[in-house]
Amino acid sequence: MVLLVLLQLLWLWPMATASTARTGCQEKCGNITVPYPFGIGDANCYRKLYDVTCNHSFIPPKLFLGKGKVEVLNISSEGQLRINSTIGFTCYDRSGDKISEHLSWIDLKAKPYTFSDTYNRFTALGCDTIATITGSKGCDFKTGCSMLCNSIDNVINGSCSGIGCCQTSIPKGFKKFDLELGSNNNHTDVVDFNWCSYGFLVDHEWYNFSGADLSLFSTRHDTQVPLVLNWAIEGFGCGNASTSDLNYACGNNSECINSPNGLGYLCRCSPGYQGNPYLKDGCQGRD
């Protein structure tokens, strides 16, 4: 009986303490889990470039990339990181004068992230709108759309196909984007139901267009929307990482996989093991 309890304890012990952060490091910020190579605080808690900051001035506390202002909503060990990204907008009054404008941009230069091409779409909203996104640093491109619609009645909820809402795919591998918003008539013909043009990169699984967004986007969704980044251990591929990366990221019982953004590698536990593959002994045998 005693032996049985002891065996059970021994068996449960590593499970109960299995942490996804380094030993002695903070694993959670609010309800967001921070798995190594990400880490908070002491330099020993994160791999170089993967530091995040937990700011307790907010209730619940908020997590930020580096020491910056980009808010992190979720980190997945499988190579994605979701951030809260500010939308771009240009708004006009009845006489066609610009009354407010915010043209957002994000620069991830020298950081191990790119904008995910699989999750994100460039999305523009407006009925007198010319929206352009210019990507650079890793992959140069320019894309966008131009829309004119003259009545809210033509807009179809849930359908982002060019009437009041348009979406385009983006390529993989770029680290910076800039946004431009223009219009043909300063929204003067549509100001009754649409006085702003909007442009943003967004997780397309999250965003579902509604005609109400043409007048109330920020009331309905805030001025920040979720955007997905791909992260990777950059500079090496699986062909040379284990021999050339002096700081090879994959721990025991794990294997290297080339990252989907083409800029580096990721690690995953070998078949039959589970845990955090970026910790030395993070991958533990299942039983």
Ligand X SMILES: *[C@@H]1O[C@H](CO)[C@@H](O)[C@H](O)[C@H]1NC(C)=O
Q: Which is nearer to ligand X, 178 or 245 (CB)?
A: 245
Kindly state whether residue 73 participates in binding ligand X, applying the rule CB under 6 A.
Answer: yes
Task: Please name the residue that has the structure tokens 């043909």.
Answer: 184
Residue 42 near ligand X by CB under 6 A? no
State the minimum distance, in angstroms, from the CB of residue 15 to ligand X: 18
Over the window 184 to 223, marking each residue x when it contacts ligand X by CB under 6 A and - when it does not, the resulting string is -xx---------------------x-xxx---------x-
Closest CB 192 distance from ligand X, rounded Å? 15
Beta strands in 193-259 (DSSP E): 196-203, 224-231, 233-234, 254-258
**C-alpha pair distances (Å), 94 with each of 171, 192, 251:** 38, 8, 61
Tokens describing residue 273: 């093991």
Instruction: Record the tokens describing residue 199, joined without a space.
Output: 């442009």
Nearest distance from residue 194's CB to ligand X, in Å?
14
- Rule CB under 6 A: choose which of 8, 44, 76, 169 binds ligand X: 76
User: Which of 3, 10, 15, 57 touches ligand X by CB under 6 A?
Assistant: 57
| Of the candidate residues 35, 79, 88, 251, the single one contacting ligand X (CB under 6 A) | 251
CB of 74 to ligand X, least distance (A): 4
Residue from the set 168, 281, 285, 286 that interacts with ligand X by CB under 6 A:
281
Q: Judged by CB under 6 A, does residue 132 bind ligand X? A: no
Examine residue 257 and tell whether it contacts ligand X (CB under 6 A): no
Total residues at the site for ligand X (CB under 6 A)? 33
Instruction: Identify the CA nearest to 84 among candidates 62, 54, 57, 109.
Output: 62
| Other Cβ atoms closer than 10 A to 5 | 9
Break the chain down into helix, strand, coil percent, rounded to 5: 10, 40, 50
C-alpha 117, offset from chain centre: 11
Burial 61-71 (b: 16+ CB within 10 A, else e): ebbbbeeeebb
How far apart (Å, rounded) are the C-alpha atoms in residues 171 and 141?
8
Q: Does 150 bind ligand X (CB under 6 A)?
A: no
Beta bridge partners of 134: 142, 178
274 binding ligand X? (CB under 6 A): no
118 touching ligand X, by CB under 6 A = no
Q: Which of 165, 179, 53, 67 shows the shortest CA–CA distance to 115? A: 179
Counting every residue written for the chain, the total comes to: 287
151 sits near ligand X (criterion: CB under 6 A): no
Q: Footprint of ligand X on this chain (CB under 6 A)?
A: 31-32, 53, 55, 57, 60, 71, 73-74, 76, 84, 96-98, 157-158, 185-186, 208, 210-212, 222, 224, 236-237, 239-240, 244, 251-252, 280-281
